[in-house]
Amino acid sequence: MIDLHTHILPGMDDGSRDVSESLAMLEASAAQGVGLVAATPHFYAEENSPERFLSRRAEAAQRLRAALRPGLPELRLGAEVHYFEGMARSEWADALCLEGTGLLLLEMPFAPWTERMLQEVRELQNRPGLTVVLAHVERYCRWQNKKTWVELLNWGVLNQCNATCFLQWRTRRAALELLRAGRVHFLGSDCHNMDARPPRLGEAMLRLTAGDRDILLKCWRRFLPEWKEAVR
């Protein structure tokens, strides 16, 4: 399995505090059958320049990779990019895509999206070789109307859902409806630590039917051909 959304790099954001915690998170992921983890620390344009963020990410990844042991998931770098005005015209967008792919994990505001916001997403989606993936799509549903979701899907925007949605009784039914309606393309643990927000991707996959798992596997193979060895 692939965990497309994690905060596993040590000291990068509000996720893992140090290498030891990162290793514990990777060990938990491996025990659940995860073979590849995308490290997607938060990128806030108002807090870090792209150059500083990429430098910090490279340093954190180097420290973690130096401590990796056999049997732990493969690590790929990325970012969870927080929406900001003008992002579609920024030169750094390709550098923040998931390593080896053209997928950009985007966190949208937790509020009704304006036409300007949607136009920004569309312009970003239209960049050659780039595909927008909305992070934890389930968190936005309460504020957006059906027309918005139809537009995004028609533009080719993809959606990532957090694994915990399939484990909690209050959200499980809605998450399954999204998946079966073709509005969920990837799962991610969105793990931050080993306490309040540990890796639970494997648990979620076990709660899905074979048909539901097949939907996700087909999406992984279709949209992540660069990672095909991890989704055999």
What is the overall mean pLDDT for the chain?
95
- From first to last of its 232 residues, the chain has per-residue pLDDT tens of 999 999 999 999 999 999 999 999 999 999 999 999 999 999 999 998 999 999 999 999 999 999 999 999 999 999 999 999 999 999 999 999 999 999 999 999 999 999 999 999 999 999 999 999 999 999 998 999 999 999 999 999 999 999 999 999 999 999 999 999 999 999 999 999 999 999 999 999 999 999 999 999 999 889 998 886 665 5
Instruction: Please give the domain boundaries of the chain with CATH numbers for all domains.
Output: 2-231 (3.20.20.140)
To which residue do tokens 């079966």 refer? 180
pTM: 0.96
194-197: long-range pairs with CB below 8 Å, 24+: 194/21, 194/24, 194/25, 194/28
Give burial (CB, 10 Å; 0-12/13-18/19+) of 153.
Answer: middle
Q: Say what the pLDDT of residue 231 is.
A: 55
Q: How far is CA 173 from CA 136, 176, 178, 224, in A?
A: 16, 5, 9, 27
Residue 70 and residue 82: Cα distance in Å, rounded?
33
Beta-strand relationship, 158-162 and 186-188 = parallel
